[in-house]
Chains A and B, each alone.
Chain A
Amino acid sequence: MNVKKYNFPVLFILALFVLPFFFSSPVLLHVLILVYFYAFLSMSWNILGGFAGQLSLGHAAYTAIGAYLSTMLFLRWHISPWVTMFGGGIGASIMSVIIGYPCFKLRGAYYALSTLAFAELVRVLITNTDSFLGFQINAARGLLLPVMGHAPGYFQFVDKQYYYYIILSFCTILTIILYFMNKFRFGYYLAAIREDQEAAEALGINVTWCKLLAGIMSSFFTGIGGVFYAQYVLYISAQSIGALHISLEMAFISIVGGKGTIIGPIIGAFLLTPLAELTRVYLAGTYMGMHLVFYGGVLMLVVKFMPSGIIHPLRMLYEKIITS
Chain B
Amino acid sequence: MLLIQAILNGIFIGSVYGLIALSLTLIFGVMKIINFAHGSFLMIGMFTTFLFTSLTNYNPYISLIVVCPLLFFLGYMVQNFLIKSVLIAEQDIREPIGVLLLTSGLWIFLDNIFMVFFGPDYHALPAPFSKLSWSFGDLILINKARFFAFLVSCLAALILHFFLRHTELGRSIKAVGQDREMAGLLGIDVYKIYNIAFGVACAIVGIAGTLLTTFYYVHPNVGGLFGIKAFIIVILGGLGSIGGALLGGIIVGLIESFGAQFISATMTEGLIYIIFLSVLFFRPSGLFGLRYEW
Contacts and interface: CB of A to CB of B under 8 A. Distances in A.
A55 B284 contact: no
Contacts of B112: 289-290, 292-293, 295-296
A295 B116 CA distance: 14
Nearest to B280: A114
A57 B196 CA distance: 30
Contacts of B85: 304
A117 interface: yes
A135 interface: no
Chain A interface main SS type: helix
B160 interface: no
Contact of B280 (A106, A255, A287, A292): A106
Given A109-B34, A112-B100, A121-B274, A300 B109 contact: yes
B98 interface: yes
B116 A304 contact: no
Interface in B228-255: 228, 231-232, 235
B241 to A, nearest CB: 16
Nearest to B266: A128
Contact of A107 (B89, B106, B220, B294): B294
B interface residue count range (under 10 / 10 to 19 / 20 to 34 / 35 or more): 35 or more
Contacts of A109: 34, 95, 97, 100
A55 B101 CA distance: 10
Nearest to B221: A289
B109 A297 contact: yes
Contacts of A102: 277, 281
Contacts of B270: 120-121, 124-125, 128
A120 B280 CA distance: 15
Interface in A108-131: 108-110, 112-114, 116-118, 120-121, 124-125, 127-128
Interface string B214-227: 00000010001000
8 contacts: A108-B94, A120-B273, A121-B273, A124-B267, A124-B273, A288-B120, A289-B220, A299-B102
Considering the complex of A and B, which 5 residue pairs feature the smallest CB-CB distances, nearest first? A296-B109, A299-B105, A108-B95, A289-B115, A296-B108
